[in-house]
Amino acid sequence: MKTAEITSTGNELLQGEVLNTNASYIAEELTRKGITILCHTTVGDDIVALGSALERAIERADLIIVTGGLGPTRDDITRKAVALSCQKKLILDETAFSHIKETYHCRHMEMPTSNVRQAMIPEGATLIPNKTGTAPGFSLKHDNKEIICLPGVPGEMRQMFQEWVLPHIQETAVIGIVTAHRKLHVFGLPEALVGEKIEHLMAPESNPMAGTMVHEGIITLRITAEAREEAQARTLLDKAEEEIRQLLGEAVFGRDEETLEEVVADLLKKHKKTIAIAESCTGGLVGDLLTNVPGISQHLLEDVVTYTIKSKADLIGIPEELLRKTGVVNPETARAMAIAIRNKTGSDIALSITGVAGPTSPHPREPVGLVYIALATKEGVEHKEFHFSGSRRWIKLLAAKNALDMVRLKLLKM
C-alpha cells in the first residue's frame, strides 16, 4: 500500500460543530508508516455524498480509511454506502452481534433491538473488533484496493487503529525510502529560545529536520529523518536527539508518546518514592493527571483538594480566622499545606498548589493567575511563584503542569 485517502462522515463535522481530529490522527500515523496521503474528504450523514466520495477515493488510492457512521441509529450510513459502492450485500455478522449482546450483558443492561444494525457488515468483509464500544469496524478488499471503516468516536477509533490497522498495514507495507520520526518534549523554556538553540536543525533541507509545535505549555520537537533503511534513519534520529538534549538539558523531559505525568510516575517508581498532594486552584487536576498512569497507586498516598479556607485551615491545623486574615494565596500557605500533607501521610515528597484560577479574584492582593507551588521533603520546603494569564482552564492546566515539572526536577536530584 503506497497511497491513502481519509473519508470522514458526520453532519457535526461537515457543519463545523466538531473538529475532525480523526483525519489528522490517521494521516499522521499513516505518514509515519511511509504511506502518502492524497486527500481528506468530509461529507455529511448522506448516503449519496458518501458514496460519491468513496468512489473517487477508490479510483485514486490504494487504501481508503472511513471514519464515522457506524452507530446504531438511522443516520449511520457508512455500512450501506460501502456495500453499495462495492456492490456487496450487507449480512449479519454473528461475531459482531454476539459482541454487541455481550457488551450490554456486561453492563447489566438490556439491548435495544435497533443495535442489530451495527452487526450488519458487507459480505466478504473482515470484522475489526471494538473493545470499548458496540460499533465494530470492518475491512473490505475491492479491486485491489482496501476500504477500512472505523467508528467516529475518537477513543474507539484510535484503539482499533493501533490494535488492528497498524499491524495490518505493517504486514502489507512496501519497501523504499524510509522516513522515521521522533518527538522530544520540552518544558520550562520559551518556544523562541528553543527555536534559536536548534535553528540549524530546522532548515528545510536538513536531514534530520526538526519542527516545533506547542500544546498545553509543552513544546514538542518533531524530528524527521530519511534514509534507505530504518536502522540508518534511527541512527540519524539518535544523533539529533543527543544533540538536542545537550543543547536543552533537563528541559527535555520525554520522548514520543510519553507525557509529563508518566515521566513523573516513572521517576517515583525508579526512586521508590511516595508522594502526597494538597491542591487548591487546580481542583484535582494534578491527581487526575497522575492517576492516568497505571500503577501509580503504589506511590500516590493521598490527594486532598482543599477548596475552601476551612478545609485548608483544617489541613494545616490553624484557626480558620487566622487564615482568612492572611489570605490563602501566598508562599506561607503553600508551604504550610505541603508540610501538613507530608506530616499527615508520611510521604517522601509532598506537593501543594494554591492560587487563583479566575475568572475573578475575591481579593485585589490575589490577582487572577497568581499561583504558588510548594514541595516538601525531609530536606525541607521550597516554593515557586507563578503569574499565569488566560482562561480558568488554561491557568489550571499551566499550574498542574508546572507542579508536575517541579516534582520531576526534584526527583532527578534525589
**Which 273-312 positions form the footprint of a copy of itself (CB under 8 A)?**
277, 279, 281-288, 290-292, 294, 296-297, 300-308, 310-311
Q: What is the widest separation between alpha-carbon atoms in the chain?
A: 78
> Up-side HSE of residue 203: CA atoms within 13 Å toward CB?
5
**Of the candidate residues 333, 345, 354, 402, the single one contacting a copy of itself (CB under 8 A):** 345
# residues near a copy of itself by CB under 8 A: 116
Spatial separation of the C-alpha atoms in residues 116 and 190, rounded to whole Å: 53
Among positions 142-181, residues that touch a copy of itself (CB under 8 A) are: 152-153, 155, 159, 181
**Of the candidate residues 71, 122, 137, 355, the single one contacting a copy of itself (CB under 8 A):** 71
Q: How far is the CB of 203 from a copy of itself (least distance, A)?
A: 7
Q: Which three cell numbers stand for residue 131?
A: 473493545
Q: Which three cell numbers stand for residue 262?
A: 508518566
Residue 196 in the binding site for a copy of itself (CB under 8 A): yes
Q: How far is the CB of 124 from a copy of itself (least distance, A)?
A: 26
**Of the candidate residues 182, 396, 401, 410, the single one contacting a copy of itself (CB under 8 A):** 396
Among positions 251-270, residues that touch a copy of itself (CB under 8 A) are: none
**Of the candidate residues 3, 33, 49, 258, the single one contacting a copy of itself (CB under 8 A):** 49
CB 226 within 8 A of CB 178: yes
Spatial separation of the C-alpha atoms in residues 414 and 408, rounded to whole Å: 10
Q: How far is the CB of 78 from a copy of itself (least distance, A)?
A: 14
- Residues in the chain, how many? 414
Q: Is the dihedral of CA 251, 194, 383, 338 positive or negative?
A: negative
**Of the candidate residues 357, 373, 399, 404, the single one contacting a copy of itself (CB under 8 A):** 357
Mark residues 1-40: x for contact with a copy of itself by CB under 8 A, - for none.
---------xxxxxxxxxxxx-xxxxxxx-x-----xxxx
Best CA proximity match to 309, nearest among 299, 294, 300, 321: 321
Q: How far is the CB of 232 from a copy of itself (least distance, A)?
A: 20
Beta carbon nearer to a copy of itself, 57 or 375: 57
Q: How far is the CB of 125 from a copy of itself (least distance, A)?
A: 21
**Of the candidate residues 34, 45, 79, 164, the single one contacting a copy of itself (CB under 8 A):** 45
**Of the candidate residues 91, 127, 163, 212, the single one contacting a copy of itself (CB under 8 A):** 212
Spatial separation of the C-alpha atoms in residues 158 and 25, rounded to whole Å: 8
Q: Which three cell numbers stand for residue 414?
A: 534525589
CB 273 within 8 A of CB 245: no
Q: How far is the CB of 9 from a copy of itself (least distance, A)?
A: 11
**Of the candidate residues 3, 33, 51, 72, the single one contacting a copy of itself (CB under 8 A):** 72
Residue 205 in the binding site for a copy of itself (CB under 8 A): no
What residues have CB less than 8 Å from 95, skipping those under 6 apart? 127
Beta carbon nearer to a copy of itself, 139 or 345: 345
Spatial separation of the C-alpha atoms in residues 113 and 110, rounded to whole Å: 9
Q: How far is the CB of 320 from a copy of itself (least distance, A)?
A: 12
Spatial separation of the C-alpha atoms in residues 98 and 136, rounded to whole Å: 11
- 90-92 and 349-355: which strand pairing? unpaired
Beta carbon nearer to a copy of itself, 16 or 380: 16
Q: Which three cell numbers stand for residue 38?
A: 492524497
CB 273 within 8 A of CB 390: no
Q: Where does residue 88 fall: left (phi above 0), alpha (psi -120 to 50 degrees), or beta otherwise?
A: beta
Spatial separation of the C-alpha atoms in residues 312 and 345, rounded to whole Å: 16
Residue 317 in the binding site for a copy of itself (CB under 8 A): no
Among positions 91-110, residues that touch a copy of itself (CB under 8 A) are: 103-104, 106-109
Which class for 270: exposed (0-12), middle (13-18), buried (19 or more C-beta within 10 A)? Answer: exposed
**Of the candidate residues 127, 269, 394, 409, the single one contacting a copy of itself (CB under 8 A):** 394
